[in-house]
Structure 1
């Protein structure tokens, strides 16, 4: 049998073709990425075994007696055999060349991770940042394997998210106080001082601003700034480099914005610390802004940031802001942006010429990243073909890890309303039990806030298997997503109807998702208020259909098909095929025995999206008045199945023996909160969720289990590290 070629959109599709044609015992000879996708060379194992037995010289066999031809005469059998042998020989030569990887043969195409690494290195970003970024490549993109517009857009988002800037110029210009520009000689501090002053004057006028220079070393330095001060009509003051700023404050009464042009000093000069220590304004805080020359070598920029930050810390201050200068003189923008991102600096402005104030603009991360990626130089070595280094490589990467942790937490806060409440619950960890109780009561008193909850997922009123607790109820936000902090059942009022009334009164809840049918009183209340509701029930649930009382499971195949839905079930993609039919059901505990609810039954079959294997069946009941609208409701109920399982896993991993004093209700809220966040991220399909998933899985060491479980474990590690960092920062745990 000859070598066969198979081409698929990805590796999975190509392998499916191989198995269909050659069976599970196919021998894979080679594979590579092409413009069409993934190409695989394979042959049947039996053919390979026959080839291994030896290569005797082909000997023509006597042809069998042919049948009378019904078409034009067939070619001579000996010639056909010779042609087939030649083709087989050529294919075997191709196969041997591929396997040997001989010189001159094209190398296998790089994976997407390798292509992204090469792209970043070619632009001028460092290996450290490239490894950090690519380690969070989403599996959805990695499976495609192509460096297309979607992959490049993802890379741009990752870099832009790491480049902090100002939301608008007012965030910097409208704050009163003292601003000091610091940095090495020749970085452009005096010109930048003039540009900032001009921009301030354009917003607030000349009266509240003053210029200060400490540069008494350079000939003409005072005169240069004095010229700018005259042009801008603002006063200028001179200060010796060893003279504290506080000595000038008495002479600048009424000035709410003071900008200091400091003397340029090499980062290796031991007087840097002394210079920074003199930049104190008594009771007036001094904002330090570091200027970075875009045309400098990466090693020089690294040293500048490290030394000046050390000087600021030694002087009891902080250095968090920077301005990039001389952008127009830089061959590539990526090296300086790399330094800014890796050190977590906030980039305020970018300067690109000598004109005042035209040649300076507010830093726009998206535009700067686009420009950096556009200026790429092909690499002279194939170093980018290496796999990304491990995320944790020692102390040199701790700063990057800290930034990633902070970035993920901030993304979760922005994405999930109420995420801060879950963080507040974790903040109680380690406090005395009585304080935990008091603060937890206050925290839950007004949660969720008005407008935050659109609906409620009412959990089953029984214990989670193997545990002594029940899954808390989960509020649904305005977008239909679960809120991060569930509501413990023992804090709810008793009785279904009472809980429904309380939820509507406190939170204006309009949607109710139930496990099991409502009882009679609750059902009457739901119908009287025309509420949207849906119940997930068992297949044994008895209903009346066409005058017969039957179980829902016995009605499979009878209902009207209403199509199928894409969803996720137990951490994997699947298809939910739905049937629906009209039924009536009796509600337990009805005031009148004859009361029945006219409803629609929904019968669903879950199949694995890839293999088509049946994963299970589910059943729902919704009021007939909703028609076919409940699709979204029953899907939310289905996907809520996983919450108790995830909460149980988190509960078991939150060991009080390791975490210290921990109340059971606090432990349950921590565990169930992690479960709702993990499930939300697993289910969400937008690009922001894809990026966030990849970051989390990267922090947790990659995906080794089903995705929702892997996300839960990563979130648990995120919160544990957050808690450790928080307490290290505090120095000791709170006691009151």
Structure 2
């Protein structure tokens, strides 16, 4: 049997090609629509073709008519009718069917209607083989078996697996990058220590005071390598001292309306009382007044009112922005009005409302000062400053100086954010434990704290070694 595949733009052209190539006895095995036209699979068995009858002795010399050689006029007409019927059936199928849907294979249609008994078993076998062929579908211009097409669940599972693999690769690459950065940083430090030993020494000493590595690197860059050790350290201290900004006791000297803002627990209420007592001692209790907006904390207003009775000054409570404006209008004759705001975490959503309430005041200019605890970590202080910078901060006040081991981190935050330092508090006594910030005094305190900490660590190490 001879099997051949034919491609044509339409069914009529395909059938004509089959007839022209294999003859009218060819059998159509299958047909389907492909990109650009029609695909037919036809077969022809020369052995099963009908053989002409042997000529009799009486007719050996006679000439066979042309009609007998071609099968006769009736046979030709039947073949034409069969082809025409097949073509009409193909044209009646919906032309707008999507190419991705598999088309059912057409039953084998003989090219002639005068089928002989010898052809029936072979045609049945070929029909069964064609029906067992796997349906095809067109995906992205290519023909693939339908069993290879994934459903939505399988596609989602594969995509999820790919996302997991991609995320794992990203994590591995991030870990490798961090490792390389760490190694390169160590190599750079070793290279700096080899080429610029004085700079490396100064960087280590500045970081021992609690300052950040960025500030230590910036300060040490300005010191020449040829300068002696003691002179180089003095120059570094002078450079850091010049970087510190102070306000020179502006609250007590200028007066006005001052609001202390900051997170909870940093000592805003006690600091307000200390400032009010200092101002009342200099200008009299009638020249100062205190306002509290802390209506969240239990007994917050009672604490400030107790301080007011001791000092002898007026204390008011304002629950919102309107009451604050009204109270400020009543106290406009006072030289200094101190506002104690509610302590809130820098991540509290209510903080924005409180800051907006202070900024909405249009009658009097309020100067906000940020209160920071020196015992807080440097990263925490950085976050607090970043959140409260929505206000035009006039300066900052560092509290709990007596409780911290180093003030270098606080000074680094002040330098990096260009935030002036106004006052320092180092105890609970009112009004004794408050100091005016001075750059030289701050650097001296930083050195003293670093020396005390180093001595304690050395003593602890020796003690552990003795008992080991």
TM-score range, shorter chain: 0.5 to 0.7
In 2, Cα distance between the equivalents of 1:335 and 1:198? 30
Question: 1:151 is matched with which residue: 232, 246, 251?
Answer: 232
In 1, Cα distance between the equivalents of 2:439 and 2:213? 20
Do residues 120 (structure 1) and 201 (structure 2) align?
no
In 1, Cα distance between the equivalents of 2:403 and 2:306? 25
In 1, Cα distance between the equivalents of 2:447 and 2:415? 15
Partner residue, 1:368: 442
Partner residue, 1:134: 220
In 1, Cα distance between the equivalents of 2:374 and 2:320? 26
Do residues 221 (structure 1) and 300 (structure 2) align?
yes
In 1, Cα distance between the equivalents of 2:414 and 2:255? 25
Question: 2:254 is matched with which residue: 138, 161, 175?
Answer: 175
Shift of 1:320: 3.1
In 2, Cα distance between the equivalents of 1:359 and 1:130? 31
Deviation string 1:530-587 (CA, Å, 9 cap, x unpaired) is: xxxxxxxxxxxxxxxxxxxxxxxxxxxxxxxxxxxxxxxxxxxxxxxxxxxxxxxxxx
Question: 2:245 is matched with which residue: 151, 164, 167?
Answer: 164
Partner residue, 2:68: none
Question: 1:300 is matched with which residue: 371, 376, 380?
Answer: 380
SS in 1 for 2:358: coil
SS in 2 for 1:180: strand
Do residues 235 (structure 1) and 309 (structure 2) align?
no
Give 1:225-374 correspondences, 5 Å limit: 225-241=304-320, 243=322, 245-280=324-359, 281-309=361-389, 311-312=390-391, 318-374=392-448
SS in 2 for 1:174: helix
In 1, Cα distance between the equivalents of 2:369 and 2:423? 11
Question: 2:197 is matched with which residue: 106, 111, 121?
Answer: 111
Partner residue, 2:115: none
Give 1:235-634 correspondences, 5 Å limit: 235-241=314-320, 243=322, 245-280=324-359, 281-309=361-389, 311-312=390-391, 318-376=392-450
Q: Is the 8 A contact 2:399 2:426 kept in 1?
A: yes
In 2, Cα distance between the equivalents of 1:297 and 1:258? 31
Shift of 1:253: 4.1
In 1, Cα distance between the equivalents of 2:321 and 2:365? 18
SS in 2 for 1:319: coil
Q: Is the 8 A contact 1:334 1:373 kept in 2?
A: no
Shift of 1:136: 2.1
Partner residue, 1:200: 279
More helix by share: 2
Shift of 1:242: 5.2
Q: Is the 8 A contact 1:327 1:333 kept in 2?
A: yes
SS in 2 for 1:292: strand
Deviation string 1:477-526 (CA, Å, 9 cap, x unpaired) is: xxxxxxxxxxxxxxxxxxxxxxxxxxxxxxxxxxxxxxxxxxxxxxxxxx
Structure 1 length normalisation: TM-score? 0.34
In 2, Cα distance between the equivalents of 1:118 and 1:253? 52
Shift of 1:305: 0.5
Deviation string 1:576-600 (CA, Å, 9 cap, x unpaired) is: xxxxxxxxxxxxxxxxxxxxxxxxx
SS in 1 for 2:285: coil
In 2, Cα distance between the equivalents of 1:269 and 1:226? 26
In 1, Cα distance between the equivalents of 2:341 and 2:435? 22
Shift of 1:130: 1.3
Shift of 1:361: 0.5
Unmatched runs of 5 consecutive residues or more in structure 2: 1-192, 455-468
Deviation string 1:97-145 (CA, Å, 9 cap, x unpaired) is: xxxxxxxxxx9696111111001111111011112222222x3xx213x
Shift of 1:206: 1.2
Change (3 A) 1:161 1:244: farther
Structure 2 length normalisation: TM-score? 0.53
Q: Is the 8 A contact 1:117 1:134 kept in 2?
A: yes
In 1, Cα distance between the equivalents of 2:292 and 2:412? 30
Q: Is the 8 A contact 2:370 2:396 kept in 1?
A: yes
In 1, Cα distance between the equivalents of 2:368 and 2:332? 21
Unmatched runs of 5 consecutive residues or more in structure 1: 1-106, 313-317, 379-736
Deviation string 1:598-648 (CA, Å, 9 cap, x unpaired) is: xxxxxxxxxxxxxxxxxxxxxxxxxxxxxxxxxxxxxxxxxxxxxxxxxxx
Shift of 1:252: 1.9
In 2, Cα distance between the equivalents of 1:244 and 1:342? 37
Shift of 1:241: 4.6
Partner residue, 1:445: none
Partner residue, 1:36: none
